[in-house]
Structure 1
Amino acid sequence: MFPRILGAIVCAIRLPQRRPRPACIRYVSYKAFICDTETTGFSPGRNQIIEMAIQEASCFAGPTRSNPQHISLLVNPKSHIANQHIHGISDQMVASAPVFATQWNRIVGFVQDRCGPGVAPLILAHNAKFDVRMINAELSPAQRLQLTHWRAACTLVGFLRPMVPLKKHSLAALSEHFGLSPVVHRALDDVRALDEIVARVSQGREDEILQLLVAKSFPFVSDQHPGCSCAAQDNVISRLPKDGPGPSRRPKSRAIKHAGSVRPLSDSSATHSGHEQPHTRDVQAITPTWPR
């Protein structure tokens, strides 16, 4: 009698159902882009983006590496720009520019036109957490749904800081170190400077550097269904692995833990192969073993 009563009680309880998610497409390779934004401040949700630029990463671009394509757009924030002294963008310059939603759709079109079937975008940025948070704060649920296969990687934490022996690794300090033009804090200028820095550090080791960046990448958006809040995105990004070893930063998934490893960079690394197709890597070949 007791098991029947218990079974009836369990059946009467309505367990919450998970929201269905859209079917996922398996992406087998990545194409790298370099992105930068200029904003009215540093607080996602309270400050807005006023300029965006994105360019193919030249050292990973295959046949187009000598002439990487780019797009640079001003954005009307519908608010006063109080930090014009930093980037030189005034209210008058953005007065006739479209709003973020329109300009972001152009960015997405630019990226997707350069990614073939089964190729996912890998968005590289210097201090990528900031740019990703600012962009996610302005994305609509429908726009988030378009980006479920996008990945982002930080060139500062995951790449340049451990490889370039400097006390400071800001874009200005790196540009001075490599003898480039001074940083002027305009999106396209910063993108071109970062592209040149990445190309110089990656010279002769493009395969291994791209492998490293993909291994340290994270989802561009935090969830694959519409309605994901910016707070959820910040929560995911705040728990991303930081640079350097540590037991608390090791992923819990055994599938990831034992899937493969990223070899340390060395002078004997493989050189750029010069494929005619966009420079990409197979996902199964680059799944990393996180540092112990």
Structure 2
Amino acid sequence: MSRTILFDTETTGLDPVQGDRVIEIAALELVNDLRTENYYHVLINPERDIPAEATRVHGFTLDDLKGKPIFAQIADDFLAFVGDSRMIAHNAPFDFKFINAELKNCGRAELDYDSRAIDTVIMARKKYPGMPASLDALCRRFGIDLSERGTHNALLDCRLLSDVYVELIGGRQRGLGLAGPERANDAETGRPKRRVVTGRTPRPMAPPEYEELERHKAFIAELNDPLWLREG
């Protein structure tokens, strides 16, 4: 079983070195690259103001975050959720930079970018060179529903990115019950449960017409010494 964590942050600005802080973290668990029901989501009091230009991006004002925990109060829960799993993010350097700045500020060890980060922006640019690699652009490319997306929202963005990530690694045929965390085993046999498809009308398979068989025989007769007509 392969476990990864897909995560996203919202912040007060673009640079923690200039004093910007994390205000929201969302993280989803993926098992064998498919989303499970396990997730982590928290709003954080940044202990500073939120510029208007940042609010226009994510929709949060300081009033929305009054009474929320500060990062130091949620750091251990976040680290426990991500564990030692690799971590997927869209523009991963940005999110890792902010998370590591917050971890350093409260005396925790930073996450190692080189060994843990998977950047879906890099994946998209390799797969579609010269094409837009924003989350919105990739959702439109893969036909992923964006109707709920207004301002940036870390949890919704994670759910969208999980669908984008599956497409970037090769995609899957949805609804076929492929093996993964969402497919249970039979309690008695230990084998994957048989998935019964209902509501589908079978396509009739009629035998060939006489004329079709005769045309096939005529075609075979024109071939030069076909192997399947030789006697054993």
Give the TM-score category using the shorter length.
Answer: 0.5 to 0.7
- What is the root-mean-square deviation in Å for CA atoms of aligned residues? 2.7
Residue of structure 2 equivalent to 1:96: 67
Q: Find 1:87's aligned residue among 58, 61, 76.
A: 58
What CA deviation, in whole Å up to 9, does each residue of 1:45-103 have, x standing for no partner? Answer: 31000000000136525xxx4x3311110010011111211101111111111001122
Q: How has the CA–CA distance of structure 1 residues 275 and 68 changed in structure 2, closer, same or farther, with 3 Å as cutoff?
A: closer
Residue of structure 1 equivalent to 2:41: 72
Distance 1:121 1:30 in 2: 9
Distance 1:164 1:97 in 2: 40
Contact preservation (8 Å) 2:28, 2:39: yes
Cα displacement (A) at 1:172: 1.4
Q: Find 1:44's aligned residue among 5, 8, 16.
A: 16
If you compute each CA radius of gyration, which structure gives the higher value, 1 or 2? 2
TM-score (norm 2): 0.64
Letter in 1 for 2:153: R
Letter in 2 for 1:130: F
Distance 1:78 1:189 in 2: 25
Secondary structure, counterpart of 2:14 in structure 1: coil
Q: Find 1:198's aligned residue among 165, 176, 191.
A: 165
Relative contact order: is structure 1 or structure 2 higher (C-alpha 8 Å, sep ≥ 6)? 1
Distance 1:177 1:204 in 2: 13
Residue of structure 1 equivalent to 2:108: 143
Distance 2:43 2:8 in 1: 12
Distance 2:6 2:164 in 1: 11
Q: Find 2:7's aligned residue among 8, 32, 35.
A: 35
Cα displacement (A) at 1:186: 0.8
Secondary structure, counterpart of 2:60 in structure 1: coil
Distance 1:275 1:133 in 2: 31
Secondary structure, counterpart of 1:71 in structure 2: strand
Aligned residues: 169
Residue of structure 2 equivalent to 1:212: none
Give the gaps of 5 or more residues in structure 1. Answer: 1-28, 113-119, 206-271, 277-292
Distance 1:177 1:166 in 2: 14
Q: How has the CA–CA distance of structure 1 residues 137 and 110 changed in structure 2, closer, same or farther, with 3 Å as cutoff?
A: same
Percent of paired sites with the same residue: 33
Q: How has the CA–CA distance of structure 1 residues 42 and 204 changed in structure 2, closer, same or farther, with 3 Å as cutoff?
A: closer
Letter in 2 for 1:75: I
Letter in 1 for 2:45: N
Whether 1:56 and 2:21 are equivalent positions in the alignment is no
Distance 2:38 2:181 in 1: 18
Distance 2:100 2:71 in 1: 11
Contact preservation (8 Å) 2:2, 2:33: no
Secondary structure, counterpart of 2:46 in structure 1: coil
Residue of structure 2 equivalent to 1:132: 96
Residue of structure 2 equivalent to 1:107: 78
Cα displacement (A) at 1:161: 1.5
Distance 2:33 2:129 in 1: 23
Give the gaps of 5 or more residues in structure 2. Answer: 173-177, 183-232
Letter in 2 for 1:109: A
Q: How has the CA–CA distance of structure 1 residues 30 and 173 changed in structure 2, closer, same or farther, with 3 Å as cutoff?
A: same
What CA deviation, in whole Å up to 9, does each residue of 1:204-235 have, x standing for no partner? Answer: 68xxxxxxxxxxxxxxxxxxxxxxxxxxxxxx
TM-score (norm 1): 0.52
Q: Find 1:178's aligned residue among 117, 142, 148.
A: 142
